[in-house]
Amino acid sequence: MGLVLDRIGKLIAGYLQKEIPGYEPFTPSDPHRLRAMLQPGDVLLIEGNSQIASIIKYLTQSTWSHAALCVEPVGGAAEPDGEPHVLIEANVGEGVTSAPLSKYFTHHTRICRPIGLSFEDRVTVCRYAINRIGFGYDTKNILDLMRYLIPLPVPQRFRRRMIALGSGDPTKIICSALIAQAFGAVRYPILPKITEAGSRQARREILHIRDSSLYMPRDFDISPYFQIVKPTIEGGFDYTALHWADRPKPLAEVAAEEDPFPAGIFERPEAPLAPVLESLNALLHRSPDEAEETGRSRDAADLDA
């Protein structure tokens, strides 16, 4: 009976891991910038394109369906071309494995970086995950696998709990629990429950660690303790260097560094103020007789006209 359940579980796991045809990420990662920005201890969120990824995104109402922890190159693990494995992840049917970064070059990804994590704690987090490589997935737990085959409408308040149904280890592997447990080993918060204690004059917050099976990939995205790192911006972004398909490139004389139009060429020249001020000063300081004589002269000129 155990062999039968194990075989059925593997078939279901294989179906859940099957990629959906026609998937194309809206904003794929830049491989070179992603590799340059990623550091050990970073959490890499992935928008997956498998059957189970679609269901997890529905249950969590999030873009992210998978999470992996970035570590130093894992000893003895590399691709045939020599690329080292720098990601630790847990997959349905596979359990905890290592993977190269190039595995997710064609996916939409996001880097979440813990802030203020000491070097010693960073090493502890990475070592915790590396030491669990090889932990298997209990494919005999049919309940955990079967419920993902029936994506029925689920009220939002029950979605997180639905991912945590079933028996222990298999569910914890599905739900970003490995990474949550790794950070929990050094008491680094993700989304802890917070309660206030003490008097009104002196309140203090007490952090309660959530059960690791309740964590989801999006929790690292919305956590106030993780910084979102965008390689395009961190690597230096200049919007003026972009060339849009619906607009021609700027003309050479406009795009040149030297301005072809000297400063002031389009400005109206101002009239000299000195003669105007002198005439105004003369009018203000003339005597009454001069003013009367000026008036008679203007009247005579009008009569002659």
The domains located in the chain, with CATH, are 2-241 (3.90.1720.10)
Query: Which parts of the chain register pLDDT below 70?
Result: 1-2, 5-6, 137-175, 197-213, 248-277, 280, 283-305
pLDDT value of position 74: 94
pLDDT value of position 120: 96
DSSP state at residue 84: B
Spacing of C-alpha 12 from chain mean position: 32
- 72: exposed, middle or buried (Cβ count in 10 Å: 0-12, 13-18, 19+): middle
Calpha distance 175→36 (Å, rounded):
28
pLDDT value of position 171: 42
Helix axes of 177-184 and 119-130: crossing angle, nearest 10 degrees: 140
pLDDT value of position 81: 93
Token match 């915790």: residue? Answer: 128
DSSP state at residue 226: E
Ramachandran quadrant class, 93 (left: phi over 0; alpha: psi -120 to 50; beta: rest): left
pLDDT value of position 191: 87
- 156: exposed, middle or buried (Cβ count in 10 Å: 0-12, 13-18, 19+): exposed
pLDDT value of position 237: 85
